[in-house]
Structure 1
Amino acid sequence: MEKQTSFSETVTLNNGVTMPLLGLGTFHLRGLQDVTQSVDAALACGYRLFDTASVYRNEEELGHALHQLLPLHGLTRSDIFITSKLSPADLGKGAREACLRSLERLGCEYLDLYLIHWPGRQGWKSDDARNAKARQEAWKSMEDLYEARYIRAVGVSNYTETHLAELLTTCRVWPAVLQVEFHPWLPQKSLLNWCRENGVSLQAYSSLGCGDLLNKEEVKKVAKAHRKTTSQVLLRWALKQGVGVIPKSADPSRIKSNFDVWDFDLSEEDMQELSGDGKEHRYCWNPKGVA
């Protein structure tokens, strides 16, 4: 085994809240049995962050699983970090009620992090000028919930630098986290630099490029050199840059493997090897056209 690195497993957000850098994503994870199995495996190997969203339609199952499993693992609610997200259908004045519904479904008194999931409202065209006002209204509701301690930290997902700059002109609570698609074929360097300069923690989704990057020859080469899996290398690529990751899986062995990323490092040569082809490859949604 390679020498243990000194990488931190947590990040302190700009409001002082501590967030694990590696968590379990739950997109496409449905049904109480599957959710419970995945959460059980995750808790057993050390996961303490669980990422869900209203649109995932699994908040209730996740809440039941955590309520059942935390005592069995010797844990309490304060030992874990729960993130949920505002549905695009509720962007605007409905944000407060939407957040409270998420809390009810999860069976929690508070969320550790609540994000605006998408910068546009469901049913509106991307270029609809009303999107900006809906974002502002939603953020104000989230600030109120934050100040009332229903939420420990607030943030956004799929925002561009333009959306972020707009937010900073009106907000009274600074965004703590930005969650976006981020991997070697979409390194988002400008966005990462913006986050570093403005004290916002970047968190990656689709770190594996929806599975496509696992078979890239560059990734396999680095993985072979470190005797690690390609998924472990891709996750470490983000973590090395201080970017959080939330890999999703329903397979207990893969959940465990995805957490086994703290005992090796990537060299600058490795990072260069994993730098992609210089083009922007998105496997998910592109928010750049949202007004």
Structure 2
Amino acid sequence: MENKITSIAATVTPPGTNVHLPRLGFGVYQIFGESCISSCKTALDAGYRLIDSAQLYRNEDQVGAVVRDSELDRAEIFVTTKQGIRGATPQETYNLAAESVKRIAGSGPGAYVDLFLIHIPYVKGEAEGRKEVWQALERLYDEGKTRLIGVSNYDIEHIEEMKAYAKVWPPHVNQIELHPWRQQSGLVAYCENNGIVVQAYSPLAEGTKMDDPVVQRVAAKHDKSSAQVLIRYGLQKGWVVLPKSATPKRIKANANVFDFELDEEDMVALGGLSEEVPPS
């Protein structure tokens, strides 16, 4: 994957598909109602072309309204959603997923989302639940109601488990928490070796590390904010990065990360911030 990206238009294509997935996206977790609508509009105006939602976020309707009302062509906007629950029957599980597509894209012919993920591996029924939700997503995929399918918060064993039943394997995407303090290097390497696109949620570590002296030093060096440095770090690591904010100024600033590049010294310093305990 080419990580010297210089434009917000940069994309990555999951192997075996012709779908162009934006390298920078806009997350809408805990952004509701009119705030979600205005934030998504600001993001699109700032150049973002990926909006990342989920059933759990309770804002699929708002995201859908923005997408449908946008002056941009539908094909220019990449929309992700996620399902983390299982219905009482396989059909009900499928219906829950299909309702998400309807909330975002409407019920007309050709309605679709771009990426549908299993939100968490801890679905009711554990392995059987994961299988049932994945098969519902595969059905959507076969029907053209989603262009890609994947997982979120999956460890290696969960992805390996899928080999026993998945018609689509590997999953196109694994969305996981990633930032300098949580790098999940073993999981990331596994995904990269198997052609699974890695998406990074919480790339700003929920704003808790902005005052870290290493981050501040790198930010001062490039005349950028701590948030911009963290986003750029994720992009140069090869991740699809999904920052979130409901503040217009920050939404725009978080997209302004393509006019500088972290050098090797910067990347090593930021990579050394990991708080994960290495395997013994």
Query: TM-score, normalised on structure 2?
Result: 0.90
Letter in 2 for 1:150: K
Q: 2:133 matched to 1:138?
A: yes
Q: How does 1:216-231 map to 2 (within 5 A)?
A: 216-231=212-227
Of 246, 253, 256, 1:250 maps to 246
Find the residue that maps to 2:162 and give its secondary structure.
helix
| Partner deviation per Cα, 1:239-266 (whole Å, 9 max, x = no partner) | 0011001111111111010001111111
Match for residue 56 of structure 2?
A: 55
Question: 2: CA distance between counterparts of 1:198 and 1:236?
Answer: 24
Match for residue 286 of structure 1?
A: none
Q: 1:237 to 1:6 in 2, by over 3 A?
A: closer
CA positional deviation for 1:13: 1.3
Whether the 8 Å contact between 2:6 and 2:259 is mirrored in structure 1 is: no
Whether the 8 Å contact between 1:182 and 1:207 is mirrored in structure 2 is: yes
Q: 2:32 matched to 1:30?
A: yes
Match for residue 67 of structure 2?
A: 66
Letter in 2 for 1:57: R
Find the residue that maps to 1:213 and give its secondary structure.
coil
Match for residue 84 of structure 2?
A: 87
Whether the 8 Å contact between 2:232 and 2:261 is mirrored in structure 1 is: yes
Letter in 2 for 1:102: S
Question: 2: CA distance between counterparts of 1:141 and 1:38?
Answer: 31
CA positional deviation for 1:275: 2.0
Q: % of aligned pairs identical?
A: 40
Find the residue that maps to 1:215 and give its secondary structure.
coil
Q: How does 1:137-286 map to 2 (within 5 A)?
A: 137-174=132-169, 175-280=171-276
- Say what the alpha-carbon RMSD is for the aligned residues: 1.7
Letter in 2 for 1:212: T
Match for residue 287 of structure 1?
A: none
- For structure 1, the 5+ residue unaligned runs are 125-129, 282-291
Letter in 2 for 1:59: E
CA positional deviation for 1:66: 2.3
- Structure number with the bigger relative contact order (C-alpha 8 A, sep ≥ 6) is 1
Q: 2:116 matched to 1:120?
A: no
CA positional deviation for 1:170: 2.4
Match for residue 284 of structure 1?
A: none
Whether the 8 Å contact between 1:119 and 1:135 is mirrored in structure 2 is: yes
Find the residue that maps to 1:152 and give its secondary structure.
strand
Of 4, 23, 29, 1:21 maps to 23
CA positional deviation for 1:89: 5.1
Tell me the number of residue pairs that the alignment of Structure 1 and Structure 2 aligns: 265
Question: 1: CA distance between counterparts of 2:242 and 2:220?
Answer: 23
Q: 1:236 to 1:61 in 2, by over 3 A?
A: same
Query: TM-score, normalised on structure 1?
Result: 0.87
CA positional deviation for 1:165: 1.0
- For structure 2, the 5+ residue unaligned runs are none
